[in-house]
Amino acid sequence: MEWSACLDEYEKLVIRMTTPRVVIDNAVCPKATVVKVDSARKHGILLEAVQVLTDLNLSIKKAYISSDGRWFMDVFHVTDLNGNKLTDKSVINYIEQSLVTSHYGRKIGSNGLTALELTGTDRVGLLSEVFAVLADLQCNVVDAKVWTHNGRIASLMFVKDCNSGSPIEDTQQIDRIEARLRNVLKGDNDIRSAKTMVSMAVTHTERRLHQMMFADRDYERNPILQPSGDSPVVTVQNWVERGYSVVNVQCRDRTKLLFDVVCTLTDMEYIVFHATIKTSGDRAYLEFYIRHTDGTPISSEPERQRVIQCLQAAVERRASEGVRLELCTLDRQCLLADVTRTFRENGLNVTRAEISTTRDMALNVFYVTDAIGNAADPKLIESVRQKIGMSSLKVKELPPLVYHQEAEREDQTAGVAGTVLLSLGSLVKRNLYHLGLIRSHS
């Protein structure tokens, strides 16, 4: 009994030592709420912390990540989408609890729904065909996310049986659904195999979409699709003396940007030891000091090029192309099939979609372009709205990101796209200063 009690006390001590300590401070920064996380380091813990913040649609203005041995310290400067500090106590408490819980690895359940994963070659009207097949097979889409990039499409859909309202568990019915959808996704000339599968859906939805598109090799540039002038700039250099690979990303700022980049680095089995993230105007600058999980830096030119391609793809996948249309109406059978068929018949292509259902209401977002990827004619958009319902389908702009215009001297040294590498001592010292652990002597 005494030995058992000692073990119990030891386990409690380990839990206290390894559980993240979270401090949320509204006083230290005049423009943002500062979220500090201090925890034992483990692979994926940074991604889980960023995920908590981005799932709340918070804007990360600055971040400092510093890891020393088995411990790491992260500081995030966050605001809401209107550029305001976080003042709601319930939101602050939720962040604190979630950041502590993330240490144990949060799992996302399917909430009693069947999860369908789809990948294939994108084309105009494809989503309409997918929803028509599901409606014909008596499947009701309750939630879904659809991404397109570089001529490929990936979607994670949560469905239930229209008649019983239960998850679809009959193996013969599942086989029919997979076979029909696979035929639709293949089309006439799919040079890569289309894939459909029923998943357990225990991974964060957007992380799973990144994994699906990565596995589908969407990062391999299609020569027909030329990169736009605003494509992300990514550089990778090795810092031989310190044994790090230094990754710099410069691109247009947007919500969930940090999540997308960290998600890709994590799933490529890299560990972020130090990082500095800042925004200036509408631009974002991200610098990461990384190693493989075995402690080695990037070792070859092909690997360096692959990291560059994969990070560019990670940034581009969520970049919103087209007009944002929001559909809010009573949910009904075949609603998605009817709406997307109207898009297809009028030459509109869906580049991204977010489908959700709350009780009996459908709350859906579609990003649409014309058939060749250019901006859709406003007159055509209005015509489609009239056919679907002017009050139900509305043109909505994304909430504008609010930028702090003041240049901050300590951030000017953050390297971007080929700048001189910082010394590790300088980086750590600056991060410790922002963590509030040392004083500035300048």
**What is residue 195's predicted lDDT score, i.e. its pLDDT?**
86
3-class secondary structure, 347: coil
Q: Indicate whether 306 and 413 sit together in one domain.
A: yes
Q: Is residue 227 part of a domain?
A: no
CATH of the domain at 339: 3.30.70.260
Q: Is residue 203 part of a domain?
A: yes
In this structure, are strands 152-161 and 195-199 parallel, antiparallel, or unpaired? Answer: unpaired
**117: number of Cβ within 10 Å:** 18
pLDDT in tens, 355-378: 999 989 999 999 999 999 899 999
Q: Indicate whether 178 and 309 sit together in one domain.
A: no
Lowest mean pLDDT among 89-103, 338-352, 405-419: 405-419
Q: Which of 92, 60, 140 is nearest to 331 (CA)?
A: 140
Q: Indicate whether 350 and 237 sit together in one domain.
A: no
Instruction: Give the residue-averaged pLDDT of 196-210.
Output: 83
**What is residue 40's predicted lDDT score, i.e. its pLDDT?**
83
Q: Indicate whether 264 and 186 sit together in one domain.
A: no
**What is residue 419's predicted lDDT score, i.e. its pLDDT?**
38
Query: 3-state DSSP helix/strand/coil percent for the chain, to nearest 5?
Result: 35, 30, 35
How high does pLDDT run on average in the chain? 84
Buried b (16+ CB within 10 A) or exposed e, 305-316: ebbbbbbbbbbb
Q: Which domain holds residue 175?
A: 114-222+321-395
**What is residue 387's predicted lDDT score, i.e. its pLDDT?**
96
CA 140 to chain centre: 25
Q: Is residue 132 part of a domain?
A: yes
How many domains does the structure of the chain reveal? 2
**96: number of Cβ within 10 Å:** 18
Q: Which of 45, 109, 32 is nearest to 73 (CA)?
A: 45
Q: Is residue 256 part of a domain?
A: yes
d(CA 114, CA 196): 13
Lowest mean pLDDT among 7-11, 20-24, 69-73, 349-353: 7-11
Cβ burial of 230 (10 Å; 0-12, 13-18, 19+) is exposed
